[in-house]
A and B are shown apart, each in its own frame.
Chain A
Amino acid sequence: MRHASPAALRLSVWAYAHLLRAYPTSFRAEFGGEMALLFSDCCRDEWRSAGRAGVFCLLARAALDTLVSAPPLWAERLEETMKGQSADRRWGFWLADHGLAGGGLVLLAVGAATSWWAISLGSAALAIAFFAWVAEADGLLALPRPGRVAIRRDFGFDIPFAFKVRRGERVLLFVREEDAERGGWSDLYTVLDRPKGTDGFEPCWGLPPNPIPSGWSLRGHVPVHDLRFESHDRSTYVTRGSLERSLSAVGV
């Protein structure tokens, strides 16, 4: 007869499944399932031999193991990402991140001999450097590029179906509508705006913003091909010139 897993086992397996998020997505996709299965087998062994304490010790060891084994994979991932970037961007990011990390280490060294505030600042700089490094490697951080505005996009390939930009105290949303008559997508973006800091239901791409969702007001329409988009890794940019022209066409 098969008994239900004890709570300690289920909790540990659940916690380990969350720990796996520390690994890069590609690694998790390839080995995550097997790692979770292996951990659950080990949990059962520990439960039989040492009970609840053994299971929690195993979880603690697995957490340490994750701390040791995940950073080299992120480093490899970063190296691969950087290979695909322009030299300027690579060096800019390298200098910023290493500057923070180096400054953090110096502050830590100074702090060890002098005061707590240097230790705190050093730790903060190191933490920021680490997260910037991880965010860049995972494509979460859009680095500023001269003459380009980073946009938050919703799907689409070369031309986004919808994207948002901030303009002073306003948030502007460009939505491309589905053209039912011709089939496919309209050649116009509908431009909506709302004051920054207010909530607004965000219309999804493909759904015509008609009636105008609450919180938003209609600014007008701009031709899709007036805007120039560029994609770099997983970040998308629109050229500042084309954006300015489109915004002035709708009176923003």
Chain B
Amino acid sequence: MDRPRPPGSFLPLPDAELEILIALADGEAHGYAIMRAVAERTEGRRRLGPGTLYTALKRLLAARLIEEVVASRDAGSEEARRRLYRLSHFGSRVLEAELDRLSTLVRHGRKRLHILLPSGGRS
């Protein structure tokens, strides 16, 4: 059996995968809901196309950072054709590690910027 990879080995996460994990941190969602959540959160600046979204979902499923939710819905309905995804426990740990990494990066970046521009970059 494969040994589980430590969360740190997945970092840095590619943009699309990070966006998806953040969207799924709110709860389970299907592809369309994830895409809408990303567009709303970024005020329309980031739009995931279907190809980018589903290739990222495929990778996240393979790495077990997310899992598919088996929902009992009316077979044949449009909702039943949509697969629901949720963040796995391991995925939450990877997301947390990535957010820690990014906040450290931002903190260091701001510190350097304040040294360079004591006014904080505002003229």
Contact = CB atoms under 8 A, between A and B. Distances in A.
Partners in one complex: yes
Contacts of A250: none
B39 to A, nearest CB: 10
B78 A37 contact: yes
B57 A31 contact: yes
Interface string A70-104: 10110000000000000000000000000000000
Interface of B: 30-32, 35, 47, 49-55, 57-58, 78, 81-83
Nearest to B49: A65
Contacts of B51: 23, 35, 62, 65-66, 68-70
Nearest to B51: A69
Interface residues of A, number: 23
A170 interface: no
Contact of B54 (A34, A41, A64): A34
A30 interface: yes
Contacts, number: 55
A33 interface: yes
A27 interface: yes
Most chain A CB inside 10 Å of its own CB: which residue of B30, B50, B58: B50
A69 B50 CA distance: 9
A70 B55 CA distance: 8
A41 B32 CA distance: 8
Query: What 7 pairs between A and B have smallest CB-CB spacing?
Result: A65-B49, A69-B51, A35-B50, A31-B54, A65-B51, A69-B55, A38-B31
B50 A39 contact: yes
A37 B83 CA distance: 11
A252 interface: no
A37 B82 contact: yes
Nearest to A64: B49
B58 A65 contact: no
A68 B82 contact: no
B81 A61 contact: no
B49 to A, nearest CB: 3
B47 A61 contact: yes
A42 to B, nearest CB: 7
Given A41-B32, A61-B47, A35 B82 contact: no
